[in-house]
Structure 1
Amino acid sequence: MKRVVITGIGGITPLGADWSEIESRLRQRRNAVRRMPEWDYFDSLNGRLGCPADIALPEWPRRHARSMGRVAQLAVAASERALRDAGLYGDPVIADGRMGVAYGSSGGSVEPVRVVGRMLETGSMQGVTATSYIQMMAHTTAVNIGVFFGLKGRIIPTSSACTSGSQAIGYGFEAIRYGKQRLMLCGGAEELSGPGAAVFDTLFATSTRNDAPELTPRPFDRARDGLVVGEGATTLVLEEYEHAKARGARIYAEMVGFGCNSDGNHITQPTSETMALAMRLALEDAQLAPEAIGYVSAHGTATDRGDVAETHATAEVLGTRMPISSMKSYVGHTLGACGALESWWAIEMMRGGWFAPTINLTEVDPACAELDYVVGEGRRIDTPYVMNNNFAFGGINTSLIFKAHP
């Protein structure tokens, strides 16, 4: 089996697009949550908070841009940054079949859905265009990336809600590991929308601290009252190690383990036992003992049952002394992007030896398991291995393990 390394990273997040800026804001321990006056239009929406990624996107030629809604724009922008970071932008090697795409989002863009909905409601096709479906289809991020950069390898769409990004990285890892591709562009994206917030609002899973956005979300905290939706995109360039070494590529980290399974139990209620199994599968895949892991980037959505189930699964597999924190306390739940975004940040924190705390965590919910919750000013940890865990509707569980590169 082939070794797989990360040689490029690009992201668009509510805290910025460059790691130096993002780390600075993490150290300030201030989130990017704000009240969304645009959502006052929705009369019954309880949670009116969001984390937009207010970063200017490139202006592309119309022949490319017309097929992209905002979610695809975010994905392509992040992927361009990742390819440039890897020294592969414009390199013929990416267009000869050696590079594939594994990418996902919870769904396509909302605007074409609105237009098609109006067609169903009124009979009018005004606004429905030849690219409406392309912008709204579930695999819009993956195919737009492939077409934009002329990639001819395999396309693996991962539209699996909150595990879209982590499944993409895992499946891209396997494609290289088993010799099917030399390189993969992997990640996830999500655009911010009122309907996206409403999905969780109807489940009473969104925070309603509309007048105190700086105090929410509060993963693992006794006073947490739900999640906040965010947006963004992150792309990792995964590359076969010998291929990367031969071209003198900079290596961020090595990916060594991937675990993925499903609860087979309930669409929206998590199951701790199968969460734990996903972590064990990743450890087995990496041929590591639990004590090798030095830090866990938690899914940590700040929902009632999710936090409880996840912490008990983590403690069962990795022990009660495991350092853990949730990056969603800064940027909310970026849904299809979170698995990739949180993997990126975990890798960077491992490289720097400083791990950001969960903010707004002042009193751990006694229903959560005993763990080493990173709070305060963060933590200096010298570890060669980090784990990133994500969980999605339908009981989809993922666990990724990254190894520091010398």
Structure 2
Amino acid sequence: MHLQRVVITGMGAISPLGSGVKKLWNGLVAGRSGISRMEELDAVKGLRPRIAGRVPEVNAKAIPRKARRTMSNLSIFAALAALEAIEQSGIDEATLSGGRTGLSVGSTTGSSQALEQFFKLYLPENSLEAIKSTEFFKIMNHSAAANLSQFLNISGRVIAASAACSTGCQNIGLAAEAVAAGKQDVMLCGGTDELHPLTVGTFDIIEAASTSGEDDPATASRPFDAERDGIVCSEGAGILLLESYEHATARGAEILAEISGFSSLCDSSNMASPSADAIALSMSEALKDAGISGTDIDYVNAHATGTLQGDASEAQAVADLLGGKPPVSSLKGHLGHTMAASGAIETIATIRMMQESTIIPTANLRNPAEECSVLNNALHLQKRPITYALKNNFALGGINTSLVLRRA
């Protein structure tokens, strides 16, 4: 096995702030919120939350109808983000289909919308007669990866890691490892998810969902704040195009950033409550992989979803490992929690921060909780150079992931 430097040459995003990386970045800089009232939640008995982050209408027709037939929203989001990343990278079709380009993209589950439709048709009479064959391709867990590989004519390795909220970050790391090991020259990677009442209901049942913000949705998601009360669910997709440094420079590509470290570890101590020690170990292993120390980190993009235990554990872990030097912020105050897409969308935003030497603050962080005040919380927009950034994502089941990004 031989190790190569891994660089990012393309990025694409679909988020509650709109279609494209430009709308994502401009919305974050302006402090806009992608959270709104979701009327379809009113019809669900026993469900308390009423707000979520919806992706504004997208141009699905940019994808040929033949390819769209097997795509649910989560695959459509991923396909549009992939097209943007490919366009920015300048990769040609021959390279995409040549066998040395692979793909690593996941979602939390297959399409919840398609699954609901399937059982609506099946359960009344235990009959499959009304179900179209294309529905199965939307339901399968690797739907996004399969649809993308078919749509883009990818013939290299295809990975579809699914690790709930760590999905996007983990797929980026796995893709980087494939390139670093020389298994592929190019990898498209990231995560995608679509919003459904069942997603919101899952977090409500385990009492991790925010029930505030009905009158003012933009203020509901409050990472690290003393008044935080849980997750605000949302949707979207983030796709990055990775290459070996040699491959990118040989074709004269613009390098946006470098992935210099990755860690994915399991916290086996608890299914739902994250451990500060396990989070610190994940970050420490990513730093070790990058060959740097904690003093080299200039910014931390936190997972921080607005839950009481999760934010407190991450704050303690970051403080223990890195001290109070690097500014820390979470983007979930702006975007909500985009689930499997969060690691990828937030990585893209972090790279834009590095490019612009600008740190986006945590939205709605007015009064940092005592247990989160050990951090150097970014409360305001800052102009500050970032050479190394640390990106965290943690998931139910104890799947912890951390990335180290280096400025181009």
Pairwise TM-score range, normalised by the shorter structure: over 0.9
Deviation at 1:338, TM superposition (A): 0.3
Deviation at 1:127, TM superposition (A): 4.0
Partner of 2:48: 46
> Are the aligned partners of 2:20 and 2:81 in contact in 1 as well (CA < 8 Å)?
no
- The amino acid across from 1:309 in the alignment is S
Give the distance between the partners of 1:271 and 1:349, measured in 2 at CA.
28
Deviation at 1:327, TM superposition (A): 0.5
Partner of 2:146: 143
Do structure 1's residue 205 and structure 2's residue 208 form an aligned pair?
A: yes
Do structure 1's residue 4 and structure 2's residue 6 form an aligned pair?
A: yes
- The amino acid across from 1:246 in the alignment is A
Give the distance between the partners of 2:191 and 2:19, measured in 1 at CA.
15
Q: Secondary structure at the match of 2:370?
A: coil
- The amino acid across from 1:56 in the alignment is V
Give the distance between the partners of 1:39 and 1:171, measured in 2 at CA.
35
- The amino acid across from 1:22 in the alignment is L
Q: Secondary structure at the match of 1:230?
A: coil
Give the distance between the partners of 1:96 and 1:357, measured in 2 at CA.
42
Do structure 1's residue 319 and structure 2's residue 331 form an aligned pair?
A: no
Partner of 2:31: 29
Q: Secondary structure at the match of 1:128?
A: coil
Alignment of 1:269-308 (within 5 A): 269-308=273-312
When residues 182 and 221 of structure 1 are mapped into structure 2, their CA distance, relative to the original with a 3 A threshold, is same
> Are the aligned partners of 2:34 and 2:334 in contact in 1 as well (CA < 8 Å)?
yes
Give the distance between the partners of 1:354 and 1:12, measured in 2 at CA.
21
- The amino acid across from 1:266 in the alignment is N
Farther off after superposition, 224-233 or 366-375: 366-375
Partner of 2:251: 247
Partner of 1:401: 404
Residues 139-188 of structure 1 deviation map (CA, whole Å, 9 limit, x = unaligned) = 11111111111111111111111011000000000000011000000010
Give the distance between the partners of 1:304 and 1:216, measured in 2 at CA.
14
Give the distance between the partners of 2:118 and 2:26, measured in 1 at CA.
42
Give the distance between the partners of 1:69 and 1:22, measured in 2 at CA.
22
Q: Secondary structure at the match of 2:371?
A: coil
Cα RMSD of the aligned pairs, angstroms, is: 1.3
Deviation at 1:265, TM superposition (A): 1.9
Farther off after superposition, 318-327 or 171-180: 318-327
Alignment of 1:153-172 (within 5 A): 153-172=156-175
Farther off after superposition, 192-201 or 13-22: 13-22
> Are the aligned partners of 1:315 and 1:369 in contact in 2 as well (CA < 8 Å)?
no
When residues 73 and 375 of structure 1 are mapped into structure 2, their CA distance, relative to the original with a 3 A threshold, is same
Partner of 2:383: 380
Deviation at 1:239, TM superposition (A): 0.3
With the length of structure 2 as denominator, give the TM-score of the two structures: 0.96
Give the distance between the partners of 1:127 and 1:80, measured in 2 at CA.
33
Partner of 1:178: 181
Q: Secondary structure at the match of 1:188?
A: strand
Give the distance between the partners of 1:281 and 1:318, measured in 2 at CA.
13
Deviation at 1:134, TM superposition (A): 1.2
Farther off after superposition, 303-312 or 359-368: 359-368
Specify which of 231, 234, 249 is matched with residue 235 of structure 2.
231
How many residues end up aligned between the 2 structures? 403
Partner of 2:372: 368
Residues 52-75 of structure 1 deviation map (CA, whole Å, 9 limit, x = unaligned) = 110323313332111111111111
Give the distance between the partners of 2:225 and 2:117, measured in 1 at CA.
40
5+ residue gaps, structure 2, are: none
Do structure 1's residue 390 and structure 2's residue 372 form an aligned pair?
A: no
> Are the aligned partners of 1:254 and 1:403 in contact in 2 as well (CA < 8 Å)?
yes
- The amino acid across from 2:45 in the alignment is D
Residues 60-103 of structure 1 deviation map (CA, whole Å, 9 limit, x = unaligned) = 33321111111111111111111111112x52011011100001
Quote the sequence identity (%). 38
Partner of 2:136: 133
Q: Secondary structure at the match of 1:229?
A: coil
Partner of 2:224: 220
Give the distance between the partners of 2:130 and 2:100, measured in 1 at CA.
38
- The amino acid across from 2:56 in the alignment is D
Give the distance between the partners of 1:21 and 1:161, measured in 2 at CA.
25
Do structure 1's residue 73 and structure 2's residue 76 form an aligned pair?
A: yes
> Are the aligned partners of 2:20 and 2:84 in contact in 1 as well (CA < 8 Å)?
no
With the length of structure 1 as denominator, give the TM-score of the two structures: 0.97
Specify which of 14, 17, 25 is matched with residue 15 of structure 1.
17
Give the distance between the partners of 2:23 and 2:72, measured in 1 at CA.
27
Give the distance between the partners of 1:174 and 1:40, measured in 2 at CA.
44
> Are the aligned partners of 1:161 and 1:393 in contact in 2 as well (CA < 8 Å)?
yes
Specify which of 346, 352, 355 is matched with residue 356 of structure 2.
352
When residues 402 and 226 of structure 1 are mapped into structure 2, their CA distance, relative to the original with a 3 A threshold, is same
Deviation at 1:380, TM superposition (A): 1.5
Partner of 1:101: 103
